[in-house]
Amino acid sequence: MPKLSHVQEIRTIEDFEKFLNIDRCRITCLKYLSNKEWLYKEFKINKRRNGLREICAPKKDLRIVQQQFNTILSDDYSANETTHGFVRGRNVVSNAIQHIGKKIILNLDIKNFFDSIPTSKIKDLFTSEQFNIKEEWASSLADIFTYKNRLPQGAPTSPILSNMVCKNLDEKLSEFAQKNNYTYTRYADDLTFSTNKNEITKEEIRTIREIVNEEGLTVNEDKIKIKRQSTHQEVTGLTVNKKLNVRRSYLKNVRAVLHDWKVNGIETTIQKYAKKYPRNRQARCFVHSIRGKIEYIGMVRGKDDRVYLKLLTDYYKLLSSEDKNFHYHPNYLGTMNWILNNKIEAKKYYNYLIK
């Protein structure tokens, strides 16, 4: 696998082909960069709350080129300790856990995050000391990874490139946080500050806004939230008041789906939830989706958590009733019941298994 430092030796498309070790038939897609509409598929998906999100996904040949370069970037990328989105070994849990039990939490959102990172910023990144690529080829590289003069949301390289572009932002906000007794983290476009001080001043929020603006980005004024311990505190979708937890509504929803599955059967349940989960109309997709939601609860609450283990047991019971080819391990149910009733010993056993 080529190293990121070798990218400095690239001068032509042929050099880039050798660097990525990709067949020429794949690399020829780069000849059409002047008419990128041929290289991307555009569509919209629903946002979690309101509105639509525009996705610009590269087609197969360009996607392969971007994926290969993304692998090289990821192997050599060293993220700031405050950055938790799109970083190996970090996730919403590692981000939220930094803010547990704080008196006040300040949540901010960067408006139109990917759309706010233009091609010129990617070119500047490639010509910086980190890459030290000559300007002419840096412009060509920036064209490969941008669309409509911005980072496309849907391209495999956009997340890590956005993190690299935001390096200065993270350093400035980290310095501000340290000086003012805050804990700071960023997960993609979500900025979180927490503190045990009694107040967050308007001047401090103004300073944060100015730092964001200096980096060519904008704070979404409609999404600035200040939460005290007496209210529900949330970071990247997880509750952080006293301990890490998923939303109550999330647990309630998973329990409701399992209950419907038990009472009405899988086909009726799929039809009932088809509007809410349109991609899960087939039984196989549906059961994988529910398992994923249960595993998410386990990731947040811990694999020895009683709620997680109870949901997992109910899931396997239902799965075995639907699929006659599915069989429990002979001791599975007995093991699960023992875990539920012997939490402390089970935790020791679980830690032993994952060593």
pLDDT at 111: 96
pLDDT at 309: 93
pLDDT at 83: 97
Query: Which position has the higher pLDDT, 29 or 261?
Result: 261
Rg (CA), the chain: 24
Q: What are 347's two structure tokens?
A: 């935790």
Provide the mean pLDDT of the chain: 85
pLDDT at 310: 93
Whether 325 shows a pLDDT value over 50: the answer reads no
* Residues whose CB is less than 8 angstroms from the CB of residue 250 and which lie 6 or more positions away in sequence, other chains included: 293, 297
Whether 85 shows a pLDDT value over 80: the answer reads yes
Cα gap 223→18, rounded to integer Å: 45
Stated pTM of the model: 0.85
- At 117-128, the pLDDT tens digits run 999 999 999 999
Whether 221 shows a pLDDT value over 60: the answer reads yes
pLDDT at 42: 94
Least confident of 43-52, 166-175, 205-214: 43-52
Residue of 321, 291, 320, 329 lying closest to 308 (CA atoms): 291
Overall average pLDDT of the 11-27 stretch:
72
pLDDT at 228: 97
Cα gap 144→152, rounded to integer Å: 11
Residue of 112, 101, 90 lying closest to 185 (CA atoms): 90
Overall average pLDDT of the 215-238 stretch:
96
pLDDT at 320: 79
Overall average pLDDT of the 170-192 stretch:
98
- Residue 28 near residue 144 (C-beta atoms within 8 A): no
The pLDDT confidence band at residue 349, using thresholds 50, 70 and 90, is very low
- At 57-71, the pLDDT tens digits run 999 889 988 998 899
pLDDT at 323: 61
Overall average pLDDT of the 288-302 stretch:
93
